[in-house]
Amino acid sequence: MAFYFGLLQTIGIHTLLGLSAYILLLTGQLSLAQVGFFAIGAYVSGILTVIFEYHIVPGLFLGALVGGLFAFLVGFPALRVKGLMLVVATIAFSEIVRLFFFNLNWRVSVNGVEVGPDSTQGFREIRFYAANGWDTLDVVLFVWLFVVIVMALLWWLDRVRVGATLRAVGADELAAQSSGVNIVAVKVSAMTGGGIIAGLAGGLYAHSATYVDHLTFSVLLATFAVAYPILGGLSSVFGTLIAVIFVQGVLIEGMRFLGDWRNILFGLLIIIAMNVRPAGLIDGKVVLRIREALGTGKKSGGEGHAETR
Amino acid sequence: MGIDFVDIAQAIIDGLLFGSTYALIGLGFTLIFGAMHKLNLAYAASAIAGAYVGLAMITLTGLPSVLAFFLGPIASGVIGFAVYVTCFRYIPTTNMLAPLMASIGALFFIDEIVIHATAGSPLSFPAVMEDIYLEFGDFGFRGDLIFVLAISLIAMAVLMYILFRTRLGLATRAVSQQPIAAELCGIAGHRTNAITFVVTGALGGLAGCMAAAAVGVISPLLTVPITVKGLIVTVIGGLGSIPGAIIAGFAVGGFENLFLLLFGVNQRDIYVFLLLFVFLVFRPGGVFDTAIERD
C-alpha cells in the first residue's frame, strides 16, 4: 500500500509541475525553466522548515512565492526572445539554478544536529512529515489538496476572460496585440503563475522525498515538465493529469517487468503518440465530444485553436 | 597557484581547438533550423550513436581506427534520416510543439538503445595523432586536437561547397527561404528536407567521433551536455546563421576552457550560461545578426 501512496504523491507533484508548464504553453511559450523554479521552491521551503523550523504551510507558501519572483525576474529578459531562443534561454536558466545549488553549502547546527544543503552531498534532513507524525495517507491527501486547488483554479481561469486572453496570445500574437492585448504583461503573468505553481510543486517534492540534490533538477526533468501538457493536449487541464498518470503510472511503474526495454519503449511511445495525435491525447475534438456526452456541449468558440497546434 | 598569461593563452588555445566540435554540432542545429524552422533535439544523440556504430565497426572487424571517422558519419546520416521520417515528415508543418516533443522521444530512444547495447558503461575511443605535440615557444598544440580541427575545417569547407555551389545546396536554401515558392518551382520539399537531415546527421557523426576522440572515452552521458552546448552555439551564432555557428563554436570552446581554468569544473558552466544570457539580452540576433525574424 505504501508503494501506491508513494506513486500517488509522485503523480500529484508531477501534475503540478506539468501544469506550471501548461499555463505558459497556453501563451505559446515553451519554457524549460520550470525545473529551475521547482528547484528554487524545493530548496527554499526545505531550508525554511529545516533550518528556520517553520511549519510546512508557510514554508511551501514562501517557496512558491520565491519561485514566482524568480519567474517574474526571468520573464522580462527571457520573453524578449521567443520560440526556440526561449527554449535555449530557459535551459540555461535551469542549469544555472542547478549549478548554484550544486555549489551551495550552508550547514548550520539546529538543536545540536548539523543540517542544511551540503553542496555535492545534497540536502538530506527534510523530515517535517516524519518529525510531526504525519503518516503517508496524510501526505497524499496534503499533496492532492494542492493539486485539486491548482487544477480547479486553472480550469476556472480557462472559462473566464483570462483564459481567452492567454489562448489569444498563444494562437496569434500579432492578432492579439492588435486587439489591444498587452502581450508582454500576459506572458510575464503566465511565467510568474507557472513559477509559483512550480515552486509549490518543488516544496512538496522536497518534503515527500526528504532529500534533494542537484541531480534531480536536470534538463531531463525539465523536458518531462513540458512533455506532460504536450502529450496530454492543451485543450484541457485534465490532459496534463492524464498524461502524468499515463507516463508515471503506466509507462514507468506499470512496465517495470520489462526491465531495460521499458526505457526504449518510452521514447518510442512518445514518437508514436506525437505522430498519431499531434495535438495531444485530449485535443479539442475529444473535449467537445466529452462535453456533448455530459450534456454541456454548448459551442464555446475557443476550441478551434487546438487543431492548429 | 598563480595563473599567468601563458596558462590563460594555453587554455584558450586548447579550448579553441576543441571548440571545432561544438561548431560542427551548432552547424547541424542551425542548418536544420534554417531548413525547417524547427529544432531537432535528437541531433546530438544521433551524433553520439553514430560514433558508437563507427567504434563498433572497427572493433568488430579490426579495421584501422581512422575508418571510424568515416563509418560513424555514415551511420549518423542514416539515423538522421530515420529521425526525419519518424519525427518530422508526417506531423503537420504548422504544429511546432509535436515535432519538438517527438524529437525528445527520439533522443530518449537512441540514448536507451546505446545504453542497452553497451550495458551503460563508457568505452574508450581511439585517438588519432595522440603522440604528436607541437611546441611554439611557450605554447603547445596537442596533436589529437589539431587533427580534430583539421577534420572539422575540411567538413565545413565541404559543407559550404555543397550549400553554395551545387544544385542540392540551391534547393536547400530555396526551401529554407520560401518553402511554398520552392515547391511551386518544382523542388521536392520533403526530399530536400530529408537530404538536409542526412547531411547534417553525417556532420554530427563526425563531431561525435571527434568529441569522443578528444575526450578519450565515449558514453551516452555525453549526449545532454553536447546538446546543450550545441544549442548555446546556435543561439550565440544566431539561429540559421552558418558563419555565426562556426565562430560561436570556437568562441564557446575557448571561453569554456578559460572558465575551467579560472573557476574550476564545478562552476565552469555557470559562466558559459551567463555568456549566453549576455548575448540574449544585448545581441538576440547572434554575432552576425542575420535577418531571420520569421520564427
Domain borders along chain A are 2-226
pLDDT in tens, A161-170: 999 999 998 8
Average pLDDT in the B216-228 region?
86
pLDDT digits (tens, 9 = 90+) for A255-301: 777 777 777 888 888 899 889 888 888 888 888 888 888 876 554 44
pLDDT at A87 over 80: yes
CB contacts of B97 in chain A (<8 Å) are 25, 30, 230, 309
* Domain-wise residue ranges, chain B: 21-223
Q: Quick one: which of A4, A34, A6, A3 has its CA closest to A240? A: A34
Reported as a pLDDT band with limits 50, 70 and 90, residue B36 is: confident
Would you state the pLDDT for residue A103?
Answer: 87
Whether the pLDDT of residue B133 is over 80: the answer is no
**Interface probe, candidates A275, A277, A309, chain B, greatest B C-beta count within 10 A:** A275
Q: Give the pLDDT of residue A38.
A: 96
Q: Does A76 touch chain B (CB under 8 A)?
A: no
Nearest CA among B193, B197, B172, B169 for reference residue B79: B197
Cβ atoms of residues A22 and A240 within 8 Å: yes
Query: A108 CB near a chain B CB, below 8 Å?
Result: no
Q: Which residues of A touch B87 (CB under 8 A)?
A: 271, 274
B135 has which bridge partners?
B140
CA distance A28 to chain B (A): 9
**Is residue A227's pLDDT more than 80?**
yes
Write down the number of H helices and E strands in chain A.
14, 2
**Cα atoms in the 13 Å half-sphere on the side-chain side of A21:** 33
* Predicted local distance difference test score (pLDDT) of residue B132: 72
Mean pLDDT to the nearest integer, A218-236: 89
pLDDT computed for residue A126 by the predictor: 86
Highest average pLDDT, of A298-302, B9-13, B77-81, B95-99, comes from B77-81
A123 three-state secondary structure:
strand
Percentage of chain B beyond pLDDT 90 is 21
Q: How confident is the model at residue B176 (pLDDT cuts 50, 70, 90)?
A: confident
Interval A141-161: pLDDT, tens: 999 999 999 999 999 998 899
pLDDT at A19: 96
pLDDT at B129: 65
B59-77 pLDDT, tens per residue? 888 878 788 888 999 999 9
Supply the ipTM of this predicted assembly: 0.82
- With cut-offs at 50, 70 and 90, classify the pLDDT of residue A12: very high
Say yes or no to pLDDT of B294 above 50. Answer: no
A306 pLDDT higher than 50: no
Provide mean pLDDT across the span B210-237: 87
Q: How far is CA A246 from CA A83, A143, A148, A240, A254, in A?
A: 27, 19, 18, 10, 9
d(CA B24, CA B189) in angstroms, rounded, equals 24
| A270 Cβ neighbours under 8 A, 6+ residues apart | A227, A231, B101, B102, B104, B105, B108
At A194, the pLDDT band (50, 70, 90 cuts) reads: very high
Least confident of A177-181, B66-70, B139-143, B179-183: B139-143
Cβ proximity of A84 and B295 under 8 Å: yes
pTM: 0.87
Give percent above pLDDT 70 in chain B: 95
| Strand-pair category, B217-218 with B133-136 | unpaired
Least confident span in A130-139, A219-228, A287-296:
A287-296
Q: What is the mean pLDDT of residues A67-74?
A: 93
Give me the pLDDT at residue B2, please. 61
Kindly list the residues from chain A whose CB atom is less than 8 angstroms away from the CB atom of residue B113.
Answer: 264
Residue A83 Cα, gap to closest chain B Cα (Å): 7
Q: Do A99 and B116 count as a contact with CB atoms less than 8 A apart? A: no
Q: Would you say residue A132 has pLDDT above 90?
A: no
* Window from A187-191, A273-277, B212-216 with minimum mean pLDDT: B212-216
Mean pLDDT value across chain B: 85
Q: What is the pLDDT of residue A63?
A: 95
CB proximity A231 to B under 8 Å: yes
Confidence of residue B7 (pLDDT cuts 50, 70, 90): confident
Q: Is the pLDDT of residue B240 over 70?
A: yes
Q: What is the pLDDT of residue B109?
A: 92
Q: How far is CA B62 from the centre of its chain?
A: 28
A136 contacts: CB under 8 Å, gap ≥ 6: A2, A5, A6
Give the pLDDT confidence score for residue B146 in this predicted structure: 83
Task: Note whether A164 and A21 are within 8 A (CB).
Answer: no
pLDDT at position A79 over 80: no
Does B97 sit within 8 Å of A230, measured CB to CB? yes
Indicate the average pLDDT of chain A: 87
